[in-house]
Amino acid sequence: MLAKRIIPCLDIKNGRTVKGVNFVNLVDAGDPVVLAKQYAELGADELVFLDISATLEGRKTMLEMVLKVAEQVNIPFTVGGGISSIEDVDALLKCGADKISINSSAVKNPDLINQLSKKFGSQCVVVAIDAKQIDGEWIVHLAGGTIPTKLNLFGWAKEVESRGAGEILFTSMNNDGTKAGFANKALAKLSEELNIPIIASGGAGTKQHFVDTFVKGKADAALAASVFHFGEIPILELKEELKRNNIEVRL
C-alpha cells in the first residue's frame, strides 16, 4: 500500500504566501522560500506552489522563486499558475520544479495535457480542478474560482485522465478555507472512477479531517495551507495521528 502524502500549499501573490477563505479575503502568510525550507525539515512529503495572480511580472518572480526553493528543499515540489505552453513548463523544470500544475489553461486547451504528458511524462503533469457544488452538481470554475464553466467535475476529471494527466488536485470551493473538513463524498467518487492519484484540497481544519479524507474520501494525498502556515497542526503530530489510525505515512 502506497503511503499517503501530506502536502502544504503555498498560494503566491507578488512573491508572498497568501491565504484566504472561499478564494477571497487574502492575508499575508510569509516568505514562500522560508516556509518551503521549514516544511521540508518538518516532514512534508511534497510542496505545491500556486502563483494565483500569474501576471507576466509574476511569472518572472515565480521562476526566481522556484530556483531559490530548489536550493532549499529535498522533497518534490509542484508549481502552477499561468502555465500555458511547453516552454513555460520547460523553464520551470529547468529552475528545479519536479511537477507542474495546470488548471484554466487545460480547460481552454485540453490538448495541452496531451502535449505536456508526451513531452515530459505523465508523472510531471498535475491537473488542478477547482469545483463548486451548485444545486447538487459539481461545476468546474476557472481563473482562481471566479469563472464558472459548463464542465462537470467528474466528466472533466475522466477526460483529464484519458489525456495523460498523472494526478488530479481537486479543490472544493465550498470547503476552501472553512476548516470544516474536505469534500469526502466527491473525493470518494473521483477515486472510484479514476485510476490516477487524487489530491484532496479545501477544508482542512483538524487532524480528524485528514483521517476522514484518507478513509472516507479515499484520497491519495491531502493538501492544506492555513493550518500549516499558522502552526495550528504540526505535520509530524498529524502524521503520528494518521499512523494511530492505521493510515500508512512516511515518518
How many whole angstroms separate alpha carbon 89 and alpha carbon 86? 5
Rg of the chain over CA atoms, in angstroms?
A: 16
- Catalytic: 28? no
Instruction: Please indicate whether residue 212 is annotated as part of the active site.
Output: no
User: Exactly one of 45, 88, 130, 176 is catalytic; which is it?
Assistant: 130
Give the residue from 220, 207, 214, 215 showing the smallest Cα distance to 166.
220
By CB neighbour count within 10 A (0-12 exposed, 13-18 middle, 19+ buried), where does 149 fall?
Answer: middle
Given a contact cutoff of 8 angstroms between Cβ atoms, the answer to whether 48 and 80 are in contact is: yes
SS3 content of the chain, % helix, strand, coil (to 5): 40, 30, 30
Question: Whole-angstrom Cα distance, residue 30 to residue 223?
Answer: 18
Q: Which residues have a catalytic role annotated?
A: 11, 130
